[in-house]
Amino acid sequence: MRLPFPRMPSGKRARQQRQAAAATAGRTPPPVRSKGGGGPRTRQASPRVLGIAGGVALIVIVAIVLAVVLGSGGSSKPSVSSSDLPAIGNAHWAGAEQGAVEANALFKGIPQQGLVLGKPTAPVEMEMFIDVQCPICRDYEVNSLPTIVQKYIRTGKVQLHLQPWAFIGSQSKTGRLAVIAASFQNKGFEYAKVLYDNQPDNSENTGYLDDNWMARMAASVNGLKVQKVMSQKNDSAASTIASKVDSLAKAANVQGTPTVLIGPTGGKLQDIMPPGYAPTLQITEQAINQALGNA
């Protein structure tokens, strides 16, 4: 049974504990299927196919959380209402969310058109299906995607197509519509990164992903018009794109998130993992390099 987490403190503490865990394990955590397992980590499964997958064992992380909380004295950033937010997002405003500066810097200067990131002349295409509530998507976005962006997308080798899918719950649908709305301003990747950087642990379907929370995340994206995002997520244009993502997921037989498909631009893309397993950085790079060799 999941227990509800406080909204603002949980996002901050979740990021702190991920940073502490990464520091002890190295730059990239080893891929695991479950505690003590040696295979790849299971991806967030669709209830239509696999049911909601079991969570990763937390014995070691509990100790890390206690150390972080006790070390910080339990302090947290005070809640900010929507009326106090800047009209245009800024990673440096007083109430900016965790990871905002890094999220904005990661994508700065890279061509971004809607939900597509990278040069159109890139020889390799990467398609990534995510759910904004998915904790395994969070881990991939935080620990693996920055390397992919810097090594392959920024250098013009790969173009990334983001596909915001929704199956965990009703807030997955509203959350993905907000990502799509941010993409109308060519800020969808920054927005998704801030969402994941501040995703509370054990938070699926707890109600954290409400309009106030999503607006606060938008306020941390440089140049993003906050109220425009909150308005356009309810427009038919966002719903139309969401429906197209659903169709793409069905056609590709996507069974969970994150799902990453890679292949030559304009050619057939292949799921880089067997059904039920989440992608790792190592396997993603192997698939990209193989596709580059065949391009």
Q: How far apart are CA 45 and CA 168, in angstroms?
A: 9
Please report the pLDDT score of residue 8 as a whole number. 35
Please report whether residue 1 resides in a domain.
no
| pLDDT higher at 66 or 42 | 42
Helix (H, G, I), strand (E, B) or coil at 165: coil
What's the rounded mean pLDDT across residues 51-72? 39
Instruction: Print the domain residue range for 206.
Output: 7-294
| Local structure of residue 34 (DSSP, 8 states) | S
Please report the pLDDT score of residue 81 as a whole number. 54
pLDDT above 50 for 58: no
Percent of the chain past pLDDT 70, that is, above it, reads 72
pLDDT bin (cut points 50, 70, 90) of residue 167 is confident
The amino acid occupying position 117 is L
- Structure tokens, 90: 């800024």
Please report the pLDDT score of residue 35 as a whole number. 28
Please report whether residue 73 resides in a domain.
yes
Strands 158-164 and 124-130, bridge-based pairing = parallel
Please report whether residue 285 resides in a domain.
yes
pLDDT above 50 for 4: no
Looking at every residue in the chain, the average pLDDT score rounds to: 81
pLDDT above 70 for 114: yes
Instruction: Say which CATH number the domain at 112 has.
Output: 3.40.30.10
Residues, the chain, total?
295
Please report the pLDDT score of residue 82 as a whole number. 60
Dihedral angle sign, alpha carbons of residues 274, 203, 35, 142: positive
| Local structure of residue 124 (DSSP, 8 states) | E
| pLDDT higher at 187 or 44 | 187
Domain total of the chain: 1
Please report whether residue 51 resides in a domain.
yes
Please report whether residue 2 resides in a domain.
no
pLDDT above 80 for 236: yes
* 150: number of Cβ within 10 Å: 12
* pLDDT digits 0-9 by tens, 245-255: 999 999 999 99
Please report the pLDDT score of residue 45 as a whole number. 56
pLDDT bin (cut points 50, 70, 90) of residue 212 is very high
Please report the pLDDT score of residue 60 as a whole number. 37
- Structure tokens, 45: 């499964």
Q: How far apart are CA 258 and CA 70, in angstroms?
A: 33
